[in-house]
Structure 1
Amino acid sequence: MTTAPQPKPEPAAQYDVAGIMGAIYSDGITGFKEAFSREWVAQLGEDLTGLYQQALARPSGAVGRGTNRHYVEIHPEDIRGFVELVGNPWIHAVCEAVLGPQYQFVEIGFDVPNPGARDQPWHRDFPATAQTLVERRLNSLAFNLTTVDVEPDMGPFEIAPGTQWDDPSSYDHGMFPPTSLYGRYQARSQLKMPRMGDVSVRSALTIHRGTANQSNKPRPVLVLGVDAPGAGNHEKHDFQMTRRFYDSLPASLREHLLCRLVDQLEPVVQGHTIEGLMMGDA
C-alpha cells in the first residue's frame, strides 16, 4: 500500500501548549487547519467507504447513532496512513499537553451521517467521572477528521462550547440533558464545517450533536480516541492489531497504544453503544 504525501507540520515543541490547554479547558474543542493533505484524506476516504460497505453487510458491523447514522469501529491496519495519523506532531502536542506524556490511543472508527439523518438529541458521549466533576481534570480526548468538505446542508457537527463542566445531575444516564436545558446549548451553539485535511479535538463531555443531513451526500468523519492513563475508555472498545503490524511500528508510537495483540484480526465487538441515540432523534 502507498501513502499519499502530506505537508510537514511544525515540530510538536513549536505548538502553543498554553493555547491548546486553554481551548480544551474553556471551550472544550479546538482544531488545526490543513494538518493533512487533501490527497492523504482522499485516500482515507476511499478506505472508509470500503470498510463501511463491509460493516453494513456484517451482522452488528455498524452501530446505529440515530436515523440514517452509523458508527463503525475499525482496526488501525484497515486504513492506509495510520502511522502518519497518530504520528502527526499537532496530535502528539495536544495529547501530551492535555493528557500527559503517557497518553494512550484506545479507539479508531468513523461516523457516517447519511442523507436523511435527523438532528440528534444534545448529549455527551459518556458520563463524566469524579476526576472531572470533583478534581476538574479532563482525562480523554476525541479527534475528528472529515473525509469531505462539509457544507451547511450536510448535517454539520454542532457543539455548545464550555459545557464539558456542566452539572449532569439532571441528565438521563449522565449523558442526555433534559429538553429544558436545550435553550442554553442553542445559545452557545457552534456549527463546524471543516474541510478535507482539517483536524479537530474535543472533550467528549462537551455537549454536542449531529444535525440533520438535508443533502444527498454522506458526511464520513474519522474518530480517534485517546486516554490519559487510568481513564478506562479502552474497556468500551476493541482496539486490536496483529503482532506483525504492531512490531513494524516505531517504538515511540508503540508506547502510546493500549491495544489487544492478535495473530489474526477479529471482527470488532462494539462495546460503546449509546442507547439514547439508537432509540431516536431530537
Structure 2
Amino acid sequence: MLAEKVINPAVAKYDVAQIMGGLYGDGIIALKGAFSRKWVQQLDEDIWPLYEAALKRPGGAVGRGPKRHYVEIHPEDIRGFVELATHPWVTAVSEAVLGPDYKIVEIGFDIPNPGAMDQPWHRDFPAPEDTIIGRRLNSLAFNLTTVDVTEDMGPFEIAPGTQWDLPINFEHEMFPSKASYARYKERAQRKMPQMGDISARSALTIHRGTANYSNKPRPALVLGVDSPTARNAERHDLQITRAYFEQIPESLKEHLTYRLVDKLEPIYQAHTIEGLMMGEA
C-alpha cells in the first residue's frame, strides 16, 4: 500500500499525462514564464563571475566545442537555487517521470560564445539499459536561459522522439553516424526560449548546439535529475556546506545527492565529451 502523502496543490495542477506524453514522445517539454525576468537577471549576474573563475582553474570549464564551455557549480553559488529546485513544475515533472524518490545530481551552465560552431548531433551520455531494454527514462535535464534567445545566437536544436533510437553505429554510444544526419535535420526543432522560460528534456534525445553568429553569449543553466536506478551522480560532485544545508527546506534535502563539507572545494569536472571538441565536420 502506498504511504499517504500531502499533495501540494501547486504541483497537482500540472497534468501528469501531458508531462509523460511530452517527454516519452518528443523528449522535451517547456513551461513559459516560470520565473520572473528579475529572478533570471539575478541568475545571470551570478553566472559570470563563476564562469571567469572556472576558465582560470584547471578542469573548471570543460570545452563543448570551439568557443563553447560547460561549468559545473555548487548549489549555493547561485542565489535562486532553492526557488529553482522547488518550483512546482520542476517537482511535478520530476515526480511524474522519475518517481517520488528522484534526486538532483547536477547543476551547472553551458555558454556558447560568439563564434561557437554547430555541434555534431549527440546524446549527453550513453543510453542506459532502463531506456534501451526497459523503455523507461531514468534521468532528466532542466534548462533555463538567462537571455532572450534569437535565431543568430546559436539556439539549441533537438530531434524529437530520438531518445528511443538504439545506439547502432554510434561512436562512444553517444554520437550517431553521419548517415543519420539527414533524418535528424528533417526532424530538427530550434528552441528560442525567453527569460523566465524553463524546459525539461531527456538528455538522450539527439540534439546539438548551433552556430552563434551574434556578438552575444547565450548562457543556459542546467539542472540534472535522476531516478533511483540512474547513476549520473557518479559523474558529478554536488557539494553543500553544513551552514547552507541548515537553510534548505527539509522537503528539498530528501531530493538531493550531495557531499556535506565545511568549505566548498573547487570542482574538477569528470564528464568530458571528447566528440564535441571539433564542432560538426
TM-score (structure 1 length as normaliser): 0.95
Equivalence map 1:241-280=2 (5 Å): 241-280=240-279
Asked whether the equivalents of residues 156 and 211 of structure 1 are also in contact (C-alpha less than 8 Å), the reply is yes
Equivalence map 1:60-139=2 (5 Å): 60-139=59-138
Give 5+ residue unaligned stretches, structure 2.
1-8
Give the SS at the match of 1:224: strand
Give the SS at the match of 2:251: helix
Asked whether the equivalents of residues 161 and 205 of structure 2 are also in contact (C-alpha less than 8 Å), the reply is yes
Asked whether the equivalents of residues 59 and 267 of structure 2 are also in contact (C-alpha less than 8 Å), the reply is no
Distance of 1:235 and 1:23 partners within structure 2: 28
Give the SS at the match of 2:70: strand
TM-score (structure 2 length as normaliser): 0.96
Asked whether the equivalents of residues 118 and 279 of structure 2 are also in contact (C-alpha less than 8 Å), the reply is no
Asked whether the equivalents of residues 104 and 226 of structure 2 are also in contact (C-alpha less than 8 Å), the reply is yes
1:247 counterpart letter in structure 2: E
Distance of 1:210 and 1:127 partners within structure 2: 18
Distance of 2:245 and 2:173 partners within structure 1: 36
Equivalence map 1:89-238=2 (5 Å): 89-238=88-237
Asked whether the equivalents of residues 113 and 218 of structure 2 are also in contact (C-alpha less than 8 Å), the reply is yes
Match of 1:48 in 2: 47
Give the SS at the match of 1:23: helix
Distance of 1:243 and 1:96 partners within structure 2: 27
Asked whether the equivalents of residues 26 and 162 of structure 1 are also in contact (C-alpha less than 8 Å), the reply is yes
Distance of 1:60 and 1:75 partners within structure 2: 15
Distance of 2:245 and 2:229 partners within structure 1: 22
Give the SS at the match of 2:118: coil
Give the SS at the match of 2:51: helix
Number of residue pairs matched by the alignment = 274
Deviation at 1:230, TM superposition (A): 2.6
Match of 1:5 in 2: none
Match of 2:5 in 1: none
**1:132-181, Cα deviation, whole Å (9 max, x unpaired):** 01110000000000000000000000000000000102100100001000
Give the SS at the match of 1:155: coil
Match of 2:4 in 1: none
**1:7-46, Cα deviation, whole Å (9 max, x unpaired):** xxx7010101000000000000000000000000000000
1:212 counterpart letter in structure 2: A
**1:176-196, Cα deviation, whole Å (9 max, x unpaired):** 001000001001000000000
Deviation at 1:247, TM superposition (A): 1.9
2:205 counterpart letter in structure 1: T
Distance of 1:204 and 1:31 partners within structure 2: 14
Give the SS at the match of 1:154: coil
Distance of 2:67 and 2:247 partners within structure 1: 38
Q: Which runs of 4+ in 1 moved over 2 A?
A: 278-282
Deviation at 1:227, TM superposition (A): 0.1
Asked whether the equivalents of residues 117 and 279 of structure 2 are also in contact (C-alpha less than 8 Å), the reply is no
Match of 1:28 in 2: 27
Distance of 1:186 and 1:169 partners within structure 2: 18
Match of 1:3 in 2: none
Distance of 1:273 and 1:246 partners within structure 2: 29
Distance of 1:37 and 1:238 partners within structure 2: 29
**1:39-60, Cα deviation, whole Å (9 max, x unpaired):** 0000000000111111112222
- Residue identity over aligned pairs, in percent, reads 69
Distance of 2:85 and 2:214 partners within structure 1: 31
Give the SS at the match of 2:246: helix
Distance of 1:41 and 1:135 partners within structure 2: 37
**1:202-249, Cα deviation, whole Å (9 max, x unpaired):** 000000000000000000000000000130000011111111111221
Match of 1:15 in 2: 14
2:200 counterpart letter in structure 1: V
Asked whether the equivalents of residues 67 and 281 of structure 1 are also in contact (C-alpha less than 8 Å), the reply is no
